[in-house]
Structure 1
Amino acid sequence: MSKENKIFVSCEDANHFCDKNQYKEASFWEKVRLNIHLIYCKACRKYSKNNNTLTRLINDPKVIRMDAAIKTDMKKQLKEKMSEQQ
């Protein structure tokens, strides 16, 4: 059996397929082999979950920017509290 037709893959290959899948570059068979691997490999399931989370956060950033005046006030309060502690 050739390496290309192998159903069971190593964690290294599964992570590579996961990365390709993240960017929509994985072939159908790579996705199948990845999913079979994820059934029995907890570490790769976690890697895949983290990859999906990263992709979601990058594609839909909901960053809330703090107003400069509030930020300055927070710094001032922090410095005051730190000087009280010493």
Structure 2
Amino acid sequence: MKKGFLFISCEEAKHICDKAQYGEATIWEKFELKLRLSWCHITRSYAKKNQKLSEVLKKSNLKGMSLKDRESLKLTIQQELKKQH
């Protein structure tokens, strides 16, 4: 699909929406996204769900594995894979 000067595809809008949530979208991308959001109910729905998901994750206060635990798990998996071959 050919991109117009101001109009972006739904897929591109979703990608820009994701980037905007993490502060990685440019001013021009944000403008294109707002233009798309003004008339596309699918993109608007995606943006709302994306925002809700981010809020829930932020409130959940999830903690990831420590670097030491990740390395230990990686080593264990590698050892198990070697045993299988």
Structure 2 unaligned spans of 5+: 62-85
One-letter amino acid of the structure 2 residue matched with residue 46 of structure 1: S
Please name the residue that 2:50 is paired with: 51
Quote the sequence identity (%).
42
One-letter amino acid of the structure 2 residue matched with residue 7 of structure 1: L
Structure 1 length as normaliser, TM-score?
0.63
Please name the residue that 1:17 is paired with: 16
Structure 1 residue 6: Cα displacement: 2.0
CA–CA distance in 2 between the matches of 1:35 and 1:25?
A: 15
CA RMSD of aligned residues (A): 2.0
The size of the alignment, in residue pairs, is 60
Structure 2 length as normaliser, TM-score?
0.63
Describe the shift of the 1:35–1:10 C-alpha distance in structure 2 as closer, same or farther (beyond 3 A): same
Structure 1 unaligned spans of 5+: 63-86
Please name the residue that 1:81 is paired with: none
Q: Which of structures 1 and 2 has the bigger CA Rg?
A: 1
